[in-house]
Amino acid sequence: MSNSNTVFKTTPNGKLKGSLRVPGDKSMSHRSIMLGSLATGTTQVTGFLTGEDCIATMNAFRAMGVNIEGHENKQVTIHGVGMNGLSAPTEDLDMGNSGTAMRLMTGLLAGQNFESTLIGDKSLSTRPMNRITKPLAMMGAKIDTEEGGRPPLKIKGIQGESKLKGIHYDMPIASAQVKSAVLLAGLYAEGETSVTEPGITRDHSERMLRGFGYDVTTTGENGSHISLQGGGKLTACNIDVPADISSAAFFMVGASIAEGSDLTLEHVGINPTRTGVIDILKLMGADITLSNEKEVGGEPVADIRIRSAQLKGINIPEALVPLAIDEFPVIFVAAACATGKTVLTGAEELRVKESDRIQVMADGLNACGIDAQATPDGIIIQSGQLTAGEVDSHGDHRIAMAFSIAGLRAKGEIIINDCANVDTSFPDFIKLASAVGLGVS
Ligand code: S3P
């Protein structure tokens, strides 16, 4: 992350036309490096997200002795070292801005026979890690945190012949990061490790583990009980990472709210644990059609066509919250441009993302003339005319991109401060967005 203030400025009245393939899925790109590194054999990844966060994950595994080649042309070759082949890093492992990387890596590193320390940037250093250190401690992991369970995380690893113990964990929050951290530690644990999730969360870890030949069992209502046995091995495979639906979401909203738009987003991952944004936008009246649906490497993908439509305000169903958890900043922009009122509840998780996404979005929308009221677990947005304004993204990539999209319907220029972190998830955002008609520089 750069220390200088990267500022985005929008130009009003654009419309989005043509077709676009947004960068690769962030969740899958992180996981491909982690599992590929621990596999036996060589894993080829295509469509890899070359954003700063995934490169940080790659560098962390390089620092533990894994030979990882490339990321030119979004292709990565990982020469796996096997389950017990990592070596102790000589420096702290810097996970940049990524909560996913830090939480999943903690699970994996808890089972290694060496000590490691995970650090992150200013935003990551404020995020709660006790949600993973608590279940990992129940498995026998020894992890020191700063006060309040914040990073850095000092992971002691296991000593001599001792091992982590498999547990069952009833997850108090619907979080794919918590689920994944426990299951990844479970690879190194004695016996069975299982979790029950209180709501459906993204299942990329389970799918990718199976792709690497590891048995993962899913049972219970909506597949909410997930279990695996420790002590198995991962076998290298090829991974085709689809375009990230979380990055595509900006353009789904943009094309919906900008009159005269007709945009196709190509080869987007439409895993049903991620498609809450499509469901929410459709409930609001969006014109979204899917074509070319196929399955690629265990993950469903499709082309998504969006034509502009008059959206209406809705009460967002709480069951869709975990399925659209990263897309709310731009969904709030859709709500500002809809007719009537949109109400979100049951989304307190948004307060502990890269920024407090409820407060930061409410403040930004207010600065652009919209009546948006933050509530403890959500927001109430009364639609209106977006005006010119100056907003602060608080270094949150998704806030910066959400206000870039808002510019399509604003009466004047929106100035967005602190945008450097857009590179963590969407390299070349300005270039790709400009190519389909977004006025942002
Ligand atoms: C992610 C899980 C989500 C999401 C994050 C990526 C993952 O977090 O917000 O951007 O890859 O597992 P939670 O599981 O904590 O909700």
Q: Would you say the CB of residue 202 lies under 6 angstroms from ligand 1?
A: yes
Cα 30 to averaged position of ligand 1 atoms, centre (Å):
11
Cα 372 to averaged position of ligand 1 atoms, centre (Å):
25
Cα 255 to averaged position of ligand 1 atoms, centre (Å):
25
Same domain as 207, residue 157: yes
Which residue minimizes the CA distance to atom 16 of ligand 1? 175
Tokens 């009159």 locate to 259
**Is position 441 within any domain?**
no
- Site to substitute for ligand 1 among 97, 103, 175, 348, most atoms within 8 A of C-beta: 175
Domain count, the chain: 2
Q: Would you say the CB of residue 176 lies under 6 angstroms from ligand 1?
A: yes
Same domain as 108, residue 68: yes
Which atom of ligand 1 is found nearest the CA of 176?
A: 14
Same domain as 210, residue 305: no
The CATH number for 178's domain is 3.65.10.10
Which atom of ligand 1 is found nearest the CA of 201?
A: 14
Q: Would you say the CB of residue 371 lies under 6 angstroms from ligand 1?
A: no
Q: Residue 218 belongs to what H/E stretch?
A: strand 217-219
Six token digits for residue 129 = 């890690």
Catalytic residues: 326
Q: Would you say the CB of residue 27 lies under 6 angstroms from ligand 1?
A: yes
**Is position 440 within any domain?**
no
**Is position 32 within any domain?**
yes
Domain end, chosen from 240, 270, 287, is at 240
The string of pLDDT tens digits covering residues 115-166 is 999 999 999 999 999 999 999 999 999 999 999 999 999 999 998 878 999 9
Q: Would you say the CB of residue 100 lies under 6 angstroms from ligand 1?
A: yes
Cα 17 to averaged position of ligand 1 atoms, centre (Å):
30
Same domain as 198, residue 182: yes
Of all residues in the chain, what percent are helix, strand and coil, respectively (each to 5)?
35, 25, 40
Same domain as 268, residue 414: yes
Same domain as 222, residue 98: yes
**Is position 122 within any domain?**
yes
**Is position 429 within any domain?**
yes
pLDDT value for 3: 52
The string of pLDDT tens digits covering residues 192-221 is 999 999 999 999 999 999 999 999 999 998
Same domain as 60, residue 16: no
Contact 353, 399 (CB under 8 A): no
> If you count DSSP H runs as helices and E runs as strands, how many of each does the chain have, helices first?
13, 24
Q: Which residues of the chain have pLDDT under 50?
A: 1-2
Q: List the domain range (segments joined by +) for residue 422.
A: 8-24+242-435
Which residue minimizes the CA distance to atom 5 of ligand 1? 100
Domain end, chosen from 188, 214, 240, is at 240
Same domain as 230, residue 292: no
The Cα 216–Cα 308 span in angstroms is 41
**Is position 127 within any domain?**
yes
On the question of a cis peptide bond just before residue 152, with omega within 30 degrees of 0, the verdict is: yes
Cα 203 to averaged position of ligand 1 atoms, centre (Å):
10
Which residue minimizes the CA distance to atom 13 of ligand 1? 175
Same domain as 50, residue 16: no
**Is position 3 within any domain?**
no
- Site to substitute for ligand 1 among 27, 29, 124, most atoms within 8 A of C-beta: 27
Beta strands at 225-229 and 217-219: parallel, antiparallel or unpaired: antiparallel
Residue type, 288: I
Same domain as 221, residue 200: yes
Q: What is the pTM of this model?
A: 0.96
Which atom of ligand 1 is found nearest the CA of 180?
A: 12
Domain end, chosen from 240, 257, 284, is at 240
The Cα 366–Cα 345 span in angstroms is 19
The DSSP call for residue 342 is E
On the question of a cis peptide bond just before residue 272, with omega within 30 degrees of 0, the verdict is: no
**Is position 147 within any domain?**
yes
Same domain as 272, residue 391: yes
Same domain as 252, residue 229: no
Cα 177 to averaged position of ligand 1 atoms, centre (Å):
5
